[in-house]
Amino acid sequence: MSTVDELLYYCREIEPIGALLLTGEWGCGKTHLIENDFREAISAEAVVLRISLFGFSSPDEIHAAIKNAWLSEYAKAKGMEHIAQKIGAGREIASKLDFLPEWIKGIASTDASIFLPIGNKMDDKKVILVFDDLERCMMNTADVLGIINEYCENQKYHTIIVANQEKIKMKEESIKIVADIQSNSEQTNQKILLDIQGLNKGKTNGIPYTEIKEKIIQRTAHYVPNYEAIVHAVIQKMQYTNQQYKTFVESCEDMLLDLFAPDREILMREEDTPSRPHNIRSLKCAINDFYRIYCILDANDFSDISTWFYSFVSYIIAYKADIAKKDIYGTIFTDNEVKKLYPGFQNNYIFNSVKMWILQGTWNNKELLHEIEMIKERKRARTPSEIIKCYRIMDVDEDVVNSGFSEFLKLAYAGMLTLDEYVLLIENSCWARRSEYEYPESIEWSKIRSGISIQIEKIKAELPEGQILHSYISDEQKTYFNIAEWEAYTLISNFAFGDEFMFYKNRCLYISKMSKYRSSAFQFIQNKRYDVFDNEMANVTATAFIQENNSDKRYFSRTFKQLWMVNMQSKDMKKHDSLEGFRQLKEILTQQIKKLDKENKPISKTHTIAFVESLNEMIEENSRVNVEL
């Protein structure tokens, strides 16, 4: 007998003895079954009222929800649904109008059920109550069941309770543990007797779920979903941005069914592997969210998008079930758990930036595009040395490493790798050692550090926009690396993630903008941080000031002083080198004063003298600070 047939059999009984519990794991489609298959199957003989208990915290909320659902369905049956909606809106508005007399408010807010009592019949049809999300109710589970029992046993409603029974037991156990911890009173072994009268009024006095269930639940039906039909229905009923993506998802239907079908799961499971989550809501989220990645993969001419789709959906379902997560070791260990659940999941077919989007909610488009370029580079790799440069050591055949490692090291020693490729080399060295694989040639780490330094100088010369390093090894993983490996990584990370490169870029920006824009350069450079004012910066500053017209010279010297007085207070400033820079600037301007005197330019001379005086103040003040330190 199917689950729908079981529900129909119960609802066609002459009079209910108790409620029917429909149980199954979260997200497996229980509500979908009620709202579609069951409602359609019984529509000719009964009216189904589904009440979600999600978030309810009082009996009054439950009673009100039942009344509202009953009246709404009645109005719909009589063709008055639009009138009922307007009446409901009018009641709400009237209750908020302070200027209305209280007697008018009273009439406006009167409960319609006073004039139209609800019951277990609606005309000639039964009324079936379906209480959904029992485990998500804020009230004590036994108390809620007591309220439900009033409708089922006393008012003779056929009643279906939809819940994940395992979650109810877990919830009750958690409450019990907290209560035991908080309680300072002596525990009693006296058994609490079931008070039938109190139960029918919805008062259970803390009776355990297992006890009250015996009285209230007549029968339990375990929902075994027809995933083939459910997955097909989800795919067909989803709203898609365009037909192209819908066609793609439809082509992946059998692959998606592989994530849910129990018969396939049993064949693939190992003894120590936990059962898969079967959350249909997670599937819907994954289909919806993958569209963003689909567009990027399609635009970059990826031919294996379905493989990326499978890994993405697997990861989303595992994340929603609290299996895929990030810890101090990144996602290494939880990725293995996802792989156990879904053997078709491939870590190479889900971007790290997409994982961070799933886990942390941050979308990094630049990082994603970088990963795509890395994949394209790996696909272009032909020679053994190129393959070693792009791939993790575990993904490369030993024959390739043996034939290409010597050439690869020459590239690394010569500074011919990117910073990300150097990080991969460091990680590969660690992974090889932990896998007890010995490289065909020993790595000379002093030469590797020299190669990294060469690459850093190239970056300084090119000043690329955006991130210069996308790979990252956390401090928590430091214990996995030997001293030589970690020193090489520290050289990279200090440059890429520290202030060194920022200061270098800001210094270059200062020189570039000051040379080009003179006093207008301050709009680009005055809010930047610097660690030095050196002789080269002094020279371009002097040239810019000398070339400036008199109307801007005063602004120039005042803004310059504000900028560098602030920066000189920073602990990052190289005070000695900066004082030398200020003295160099002062010397050039002093010579300019003499020249202006000969050229009989008293106004320019006055502005220049003022600038020199400002420099004297800065030099004196910072020299005094240095002596005190």
pLDDT, one tens digit per residue, over 66-88 is 998 888 888 888 777 655 555 55
Residue 171 confidence class, pLDDT cut points 50, 70, 90: low
Which CATH code fits 3-178+194-222? 3.40.50
Instruction: Report the pLDDT value the prediction gives residue 330, as an integer from 0 to 100.
Output: 65
Residue 454 confidence class, pLDDT cut points 50, 70, 90: very high
Number of H helices, E strands in the chain: 30, 6
Average pLDDT over residues 155-165: 89
pLDDT > 50? residue 510: yes
pLDDT, one tens digit per residue, over 590-614 is 999 999 999 999 999 999 999 999 9
Least confident of 34-38, 44-48, 95-99, 130-134: 95-99
pLDDT > 50? residue 182: no
Residue 482 confidence class, pLDDT cut points 50, 70, 90: very high
Q: Which of these, 131, 162, 144, lies nearest to 50 by C-alpha position?
A: 131
Instruction: Report the pLDDT value the prediction gives residue 490, as an integer from 0 to 100.
Output: 94
Instruction: Report the pLDDT value the prediction gives residue 332, as an integer from 0 to 100.
Output: 65
The angle, 0 to 180 degrees and rounded to 10, between the axes of the packed helices 227-237 and 280-299 is: 50
CA angle 113, 114, 120 (to 5 degrees): 50
pLDDT > 50? residue 179: no
Instruction: Report the pLDDT value the prediction gives residue 250, as an integer from 0 to 100.
Output: 95
Instruction: Report the pLDDT value the prediction gives residue 83, as an integer from 0 to 100.
Output: 56
pLDDT > 80? residue 399: yes
Instruction: Report the pLDDT value the prediction gives residue 82, as an integer from 0 to 100.
Output: 59
pLDDT > 70? residue 418: yes
Q: Is the pTM of this model over 0.75?
A: no
- For residue 171, the SS3 value is helix
pLDDT, one tens digit per residue, over 528-550 is 999 999 999 999 999 999 999 99
Neighbours of 594 (CB within 10 A): 10
* 134 vs 309: which has the higher pLDDT: 309
Instruction: Report the pLDDT value the prediction gives residue 140, as an integer from 0 to 100.
Output: 82
User: Hey, which of 100-109, 271-280, 336-345, 431-440 has the most confident mean pLDDT?
Assistant: 431-440
State which amino acid sits at residue 629. Answer: L
Q: Which of these, 561, 553, 536, lies nearest to 606 by C-alpha position?
A: 553
pLDDT, one tens digit per residue, over 144-157 is 888 898 899 889 99
pLDDT > 50? residue 390: yes
Would you list the DSSP string of 51-79? EE-TT--SHHHHHHHHHHHHHHHHHHHTT
Domain boundaries, given as residue ranges, for the chain = 3-178+194-222, 227-369, 382-498, 501-628
Residue 585 confidence class, pLDDT cut points 50, 70, 90: very high
Residue 170 confidence class, pLDDT cut points 50, 70, 90: low
pLDDT > 80? residue 101: no
pLDDT > 50? residue 424: yes
Instruction: Report the pLDDT value the prediction gives residue 218, as an integer from 0 to 100.
Output: 85
pLDDT, one tens digit per residue, over 338-365 is 888 888 888 888 998 899 899 988 898 8
Average pLDDT over residues 227-231: 84
Angstrom distances, CA of residue 480 to CA of 433, 490, 498, 596? 10, 14, 22, 66
Residue 466 confidence class, pLDDT cut points 50, 70, 90: low
Average pLDDT over residues 240-261: 91
The angle, 0 to 180 degrees and rounded to 10, between the axes of the packed helices 365-380 and 280-299 is: 60
Average pLDDT over residues 202-208: 53
pLDDT > 60? residue 186: no
pLDDT > 60? residue 264: no
Handedness of CA 590, 591, 596, 598 (dihedral sign): positive
